[in-house]
């Protein structure tokens, strides 16, 4: 895959994830959930815009200059430290629909993250540098989505670590 093809494919992934987050934001009744999904949706749109600027630069110059890509999502460690705050969000509504939407978001985020990891391995250095930051950011998004799923499903897991044992 060429760098141009990789950027175009990445833009498609970002659009898919943005749309899932936007739909989830509109469908959820939880105000904190709405805010989280609005932030994620907006961030995915900024990723598309960033990738479009890199594609334009590539077409114009045949090169990509690194530019810092920021994220509004905290690191996985900071997310873990805020576990207790989620306990205050208990509600009476059954989370079935929200869990379904979150599962869709998780699926698209995993595919997107795997694509970026593949590009880091396969592309020339210039492409690797472009997509390495996306891997970091998408892993943060995965952590947020998994945290929401774990919270809503009350499985006893948090970030794939068992919180309690029945024994």
Which residues 6+ apart lie within 8 Å of 2 measured at CB? none
What's the whole-model pTM score? 0.77
The rounded mean pLDDT for the chain is 80
- Positions of the chain with pLDDT lower than 50, given as ranges: 83-84, 87, 90-92, 94, 157-167
Report the top-level CATH class of 3-162: mainly alpha
Give the CB-side neighbour count of residue 37, counting CA atoms within 13 A: 23
| Residue 50: strand pairing partners | none
Residue 14: exposed, middle, or buried by beta-carbon count in 10 A (0-12, 13-18, 19+)? buried
User: Which pLDDT does position 95 carry in this prediction?
Assistant: 52
User: Which pLDDT does position 113 carry in this prediction?
Assistant: 94
User: Which pLDDT does position 36 carry in this prediction?
Assistant: 83
Per-residue pLDDT of 12-32, as tens digits, reads 999 999 999 999 888 888 787
């Amino acid at each position: 895959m060429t760098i141009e093809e990789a950027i175009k494919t990445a833009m498609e992934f970002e659009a898919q994830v943005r749309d899932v987050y936007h739909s989830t934001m509109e469908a959820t009744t939880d105000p904190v959930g709405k805010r989280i999904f609005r932030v994620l949706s907006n961030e995915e749109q900024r990723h598309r815009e960033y990738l479009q600027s890199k594609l334009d630069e590539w077409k114009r110059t045949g090169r990509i200059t690194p530019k810092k890509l920021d994220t509004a999502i905290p690191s996985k460690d900071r997310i873990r430290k805020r576990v207790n705050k989620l306990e205050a969000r208990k509600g009476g509504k059954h989370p079935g629909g929200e869990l379904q939407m979150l599962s869709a978001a998780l699926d698209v985020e995993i595919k997107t993250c795997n694509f970026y990891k593949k590009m880091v391995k396969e592309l020339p250095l210039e492409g690797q540098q472009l997509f390495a930051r996306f891997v970091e950011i998408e892993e943060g998004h995965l952590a947020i989505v998994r945290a929401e799923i774990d919270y809503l499903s009350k499985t006893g897991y948090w970030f794939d670590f068992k919180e309690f044992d029945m024994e």
